[in-house]
A and B are shown apart, each in its own frame.
Chain A
Amino acid sequence: MTTATKPAPGAAGPTTALRPSLKVPVSLGVLSLVALVFFGFLGPGKTAEMKISEQGDAIVLPALQIPGQAGGIVLAILLLAMAAYSIYLWNRGERSPKWLPIAFAVVFVFALLVWIVAGAREPSISLAGLIAGSVTLAVPLVFGSLSGVLCERVGVVNIAIEGQLLGGAFTAALVATVTHNAYIGLLAAAAAGALVSMVLAVFSIKYLVNQIIVGVVLNVLVSGLTGFLFGTVMAPDKELFNTPPRLDILPIPLLSDIPLIGPILFEQSVAGYLMYVAVAVVWVGLFKTRWGLRVRAVGEHPQAADTLGINVNATRFWNVTLGGAIAGIGGAIFTLVTIDSFTKEISGGRGFIALAALIFGRWNPIGAFLASLLFGFAYNLQSILGIIGTPVPSQFMAMLPYLVTIFAVAGLVGRSRPPAASGIPYVKG
């Protein structure tokens, strides 16, 4: 092998051998102070009402009444306590546990919500509706980011998630309409996503074209193809080609009546349940099976994997294809669940949010899932803000996922490290 000594990565952040990084304690501290000042001291005087149960629910719980300012202060103190715990751990030379930033994020988002709602013209929202809506919006993101996880873990950067979602959405609408069967549409969407992925795989693995370029170009290609076919085939004859049947919502009896979490977890379409299955399967597959070990080896150190007899490029090809199929299913959600027909650019940049979720979730299926939920929440909140009328312009809510991602890749929110060989083609030799 002609492998030279590995040069140190250009900027991997300070490697503190003795003490864990200060970044987490400091960011938590700063954020909790922000919360104390803005949500607490400068908090709105009104009381935020958060309805937990809907009218027709089996069990009706009273709505939460949270006074804006007092609630803000209490929540901010809780945040401060968590930041203090993190600093205390740092002082003892220990890392903050993984649950701490997540718990912090949940409380922070809740405090933000109280602040926004109490400051709104109409200080009342349905918490159940908000969360259920967030999950619905998050489903395509979860599928998209899982596709990204599968591709990047095996060493192929997948910028084409957007194209896979769009291709899936288009194919699902077309096939489901023609066959009058939403499930066949779902399968066709997976096939379309896989096809887009195969182009990515062939060009990046066989022709060694830079993966980012292929990804960017594929997004344009799929956008052009679907737009063209929409204009020439779908739009002139909507009845025949663009009225897909919907995937039925299948509530699980009893479980779906549980307040708050019932409608979120147990009142989904097939694709919604499939999402939970996919997250679990990908996580177990990647981290608990021999297949997953091989996949990660290929993504981290292809030479080593090759030496041990793993066919690097074949592993990459099939993983990327599988990822595309998953993203295709995510795309089908647009046309078979949320909106009832295909329109141009229906995915509207969700593929890039999925990419962001993947990074924010640190290339881990469960992390990507949680990040997708967070971004879905931001999406949903953005539309609700418009309705209840708040002081925060909705555009800033819309920016949030993107800004958070920039902070994440810049290492301000924990350290984000992609698989070592991600984006680098492998040539045997």
Chain B
Amino acid sequence: MTTKDTNPEVEPEDGPGPTGESGAEVQAADVALDTAGGTLEPSLVPVSTQSGDTGHQQATLLRRIVMGNGFVSVLAVFVALVLGGVLIASTDPAVAKSAGYFFARPSDFLSALWGAMTKSYIALFQGSVFNPRQGFSPLLETMTVATPLICAGLGVALAFRAGLFNIGAQGQIIISATLGAYAGFAWHLPLVLHLLVVIVMGVIGGAAWGAVVGLLKARTGAHEVIVTIMLNYVALFLLDFLLNTEAFRRPGDNSPISPRLDDSAVYPQLIPGSRLHLGFLVAVALTAGVWWLLNRSTIGFEFRAVGANPAAARTAGVNVQAATVLVMAIAGALAGFGGIAQVAGTEKVLTGGVAAQIGFDSITVALLGRSTPWGTLFAGLLFGAFRAGAVQMQIQTGTPIDIVLVVQSLIVLFIAAPPLIRSIFGLNPGRKKRAKTAVKAAVATGGAK
């Protein structure tokens, strides 16, 4: 078995064998491709299966995400949208009715099917990009909604690149929004200074909430996924508690909602008549900053080294523990910008639902963006469009907003499994050969591209 797998050229070149076996081979080739990028020995057993170090295994995944081809992303989005459309159509009354007499008049059924599928998506498009009535102003709303998604998505992506799963953007957003909002409504400072203080408070809050995770991971080995999930809930209940205290409530009002932030404490509006605020430009700047950090700075190189192979990084003199803490702190700070965008930009008050689903959406944003900064920006805009458009869609066609969750999660599932997408589009037959030659090449060159 070993010989056969490690030396693909030995294998007889007959047709595809039993499906299970050829499938396994393709995977093996796939993994070999992945490990070839970074390790000295491009073995067919992924390094990840050889040790208990999960950081390692995440690295192969990240490489899959980063190295996979962009075309698959487009196909994944397409397939997910089609499946979402099928789901919409399957619950559409007109479709159900015409399906009843399908054999009598199939054209009725098909047109009803097409109508149901397109109707919702047209409404989605009109609510998020362009419609004849408002022109391009829905696009501004998309950008507004995308702002916190981009910031938090950058945080998740950065942690991914360092081999850490930051599921905790939700908690980091909540904490930063809480601190930022408090500085915004409780303190009264001069114009520019006030906004800066709000941002600093929020970013410190997010960074601290993230750093705790990094610290626990570095010092005790506690898995960051578990810790971040738990901290999300701790943050949620903490916010709930605070909103029920005098300090955070409006005077004379018992409902759990904070006073409005001072005008000096919020991001200035960018375009009159829309909710778009300066936070969007901050998000774009952060994207550039993270790109610089990852690709041009020493720290970023260390982060990526730790993500790719912590053991090698340690040998090369990188302080892996410090890098873990630092990367989680920066990730938390980035998510913190998302929280600030919510309270000092979009909402302008602090409520229990200030983080909405942003923290969880940001994970899918980072995955769709293949954990690259600019990819995250575009993925954030796409999901922002879904979110903004879904509101219109629900109003116009009655399609529940939840369809967005379905489409989002399908996109990520498909992107994470390129072989599946390729097999849907019949791209796999050629792939087997390509994979084999790739393995050969990888073996020959020792993984260097």
For B61, give its contact among A159, A213, A349, A359 (CB under 8 Å). Answer: A213
B binding-site residues for A, Cβ under 8 Å? 1-2, 5-6, 23-24, 27-28, 30-31, 41, 43-55, 57-58, 61, 87, 91, 165, 167, 216-223, 225-227, 229-231, 233-234, 237-238, 240-241, 244, 310-311, 320, 360, 363-364, 367, 399-410, 412-413, 416-417, 419-420
Encode contact with B along A345-365: 1 for CB under 8 Å, 0 otherwise. Answer: 000010010011001000000
Contact yes or no, A359 B221, CB < 8 A? no
Instruction: Check A271 for interface membership: any CB of B closer than 8 A.
Output: no
Contact yes or no, A424 B45, CB < 8 A? no
Contact yes or no, A10 B310, CB < 8 A? yes
With the chains together, A208 CA to B54 CA distance in Å? Answer: 14
Q: CB-CB < 8 A to A207: which residues of B?
A: 27, 416-417, 419-420
Contact yes or no, A406 B31, CB < 8 A? no
Q: CB-CB < 8 A to B221: which residues of A?
A: 9-13, 411
Contact yes or no, A11 B30, CB < 8 A? no
Chain B minimum-CB-distance residue to A218: B409
Instruction: Check A261 for interface membership: any CB of B closer than 8 A.
Output: no
With the chains together, A243 CA to B420 CA distance in Å? Answer: 38
Encode contact with B along A187-219: 1 for CB under 8 Å, 0 otherwise. Answer: 000000000000000010011111011101110
With the chains together, A185 CA to B420 CA distance in Å? Answer: 32
Chain A residues 1 to 44 lying within 8 A of chain B, measured CB to CB, are 1-4, 6-7, 9-13
Instruction: Check A270 for interface membership: any CB of B closer than 8 A.
Output: no
Q: List 24 A-B contacts (CB under 8 A).
A: A1-B2, A4-B41, A7-B53, A7-B311, A13-B221, A206-B27, A208-B27, A209-B61, A213-B412, A216-B360, A217-B409, A220-B409, A221-B406, A224-B404, A227-B405, A228-B403, A230-B402, A395-B237, A395-B238, A402-B231, A410-B216, A410-B227, A425-B57, A428-B1
For B44, give its contact among A233, A405, A427 (CB under 8 Å). Answer: A427
Encode contact with B along A404-429: 1 for CB under 8 Å, 0 otherwise. Answer: 01100111100000101101111111
For A349, give its contact among B167, B218, B233, B400 (CB under 8 Å). Answer: B233
With the chains together, A429 CA to B25 CA distance in Å? Answer: 10
Contact yes or no, B241 A232, CB < 8 A? no
For B57, give its contact among A206, A303, A423 (CB under 8 Å). Answer: A423
Name the residue in A4, A218, A233, A402 with the highest tally of chain B Cβ atoms < 10 Å from its Cβ.
A402
For A231, give its contact among B23, B28, B400, B410 (CB under 8 Å). Answer: B400
Q: CB-CB < 8 A to A3: which residues of B?
A: 45, 50
Contact yes or no, A396 B237, CB < 8 A? yes
Contact yes or no, A210 B234, CB < 8 A? no
Q: CB-CB < 8 A to A11: which residues of B?
A: 217-221
Q: CB-CB < 8 A to B311: which residues of A?
A: 7
**Known A159-B225, A203-B413; contact A427-B31, beta-carbon cutoff 8 A:** yes
**Known A7-B53, A213-B61; contact A429-B405, beta-carbon cutoff 8 A:** no
Encode contact with B along A385-405: 1 for CB under 8 Å, 0 otherwise. Answer: 000000001011011001101
**Known A7-B53, A207-B416; contact A402-B222, beta-carbon cutoff 8 A:** no
Q: CB-CB < 8 A to B241: which residues of A?
A: 393, 395-396
Chain B minimum-CB-distance residue to A403: B234
With the chains together, A423 CA to B223 CA distance in Å? Answer: 11
With the chains together, A207 CA to B46 CA distance in Å? Answer: 14
Name the residue in A203, A393, A406, A429 with the highest tally of chain B Cβ atoms < 10 Å from its Cβ.
A429
Contact yes or no, B406 A427, CB < 8 A? no
**Known A7-B51, A352-B233, A405-B230; contact A221-B409, beta-carbon cutoff 8 A:** yes
Name the residue in A159, A221, A356 with the highest tally of chain B Cβ atoms < 10 Å from its Cβ.
A221
Contact yes or no, A427 B28, CB < 8 A? yes
7 extra interface residue pairs, beta carbon distance < 8 Å, beyond A207-B420, A232-B91, A402-B231: A2-B44, A4-B50, A213-B367, A218-B409, A395-B238, A406-B231, A421-B49
